[in-house]
């Protein structure tokens, strides 16, 4: 199954944490990285904090969505993520954005990600990988959804 994972970091070596997250995702059983979006520097949402680096990874995985999410949470924790406040700073944030066209509403897991269509820092890199892909609930392409947002806080990041 094709899955799309959003990665973000705004503490410490931001690019390093993205690379460590990608490496850990690539080592999951029945999972391989297929493509990566460019990396973007983005303005934070929530309390005052440093800017984020964000990107999206396309995976091919045989893991069920709940197992994939559990592994993603384990990776975050292993890389120092502390959940102190909503939308607070983090070493690494991994969000399961899409799992094929699956629509799922369970405790602790919603697919597609419930705020995917509201966030330029997710839609810009997702549209890089999947511009003609359609939101499973809204029916619009990711490029069309992006047209309704202000992407000015999302800037290409160069190492």
From residue 43, alpha-carbon distances to 3, 36, 94 in Å are: 25, 21, 17
81 is catalytic: yes
Which among 93, 101, 119, 150 is annotated as catalytic?
Answer: 93
With residue 53 as reference, give the H or E element that holds it.
strand 52-61
150 is catalytic: no
98, burial (CB in 10 Å: exposed 0-12, middle 13-18, buried 19+): buried
93 is catalytic: yes
Judge whether 53 and 14 are in contact, CB under 8 Å.
Answer: yes
Which among 32, 66, 81, 83 is annotated as catalytic?
Answer: 81
DSSP 111-143: ES-TTGGG-HHHHHHHHHH-TT-B-TTT--BHH
Which among 90, 105, 119, 155 is annotated as catalytic?
Answer: 90
Which among 51, 95, 134, 150 is annotated as catalytic?
Answer: 95
R_g (Cα) of the chain, nearest Å: 15
Judge whether 54 and 40 are in contact, CB under 8 Å.
Answer: yes
- List, by residue number, the catalytic residues: 81, 90, 93, 95
């Amino acid at each position: 199954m094709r899955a799309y994972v959003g990665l973000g970091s705004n503490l410490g070596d931001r690019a390093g944490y993205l690379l460590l997250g990608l490496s850990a995702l690539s080592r999951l059983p029945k999972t391989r990285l297929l493509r990566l979006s460019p990396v973007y520097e983005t303005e934070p949402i929530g309390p005052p904090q440093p800017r984020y680096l964000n990107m999206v990874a396309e995976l091919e995985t045989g893991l069920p969505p709940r197992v994939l999410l559990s592994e993603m949470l384990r990776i975050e924790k292993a890389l120092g993520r502390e959940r102190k406040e909503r939308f607070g700073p983090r070493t690494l944030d991994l969000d399961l954005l899409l799992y094929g066209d699956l629509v799922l509403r369970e405790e602790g897991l919603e697919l597609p990600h419930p705020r995917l269509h509201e966030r330029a820092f997710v839609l810009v890199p997702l549209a890089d990988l999947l511009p003609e892909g359609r939101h499973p609930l809204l029916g619009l392409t990711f490029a069309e959804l992006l047209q309704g947002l202000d992407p000015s806080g999302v800037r290409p990041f160069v190492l």
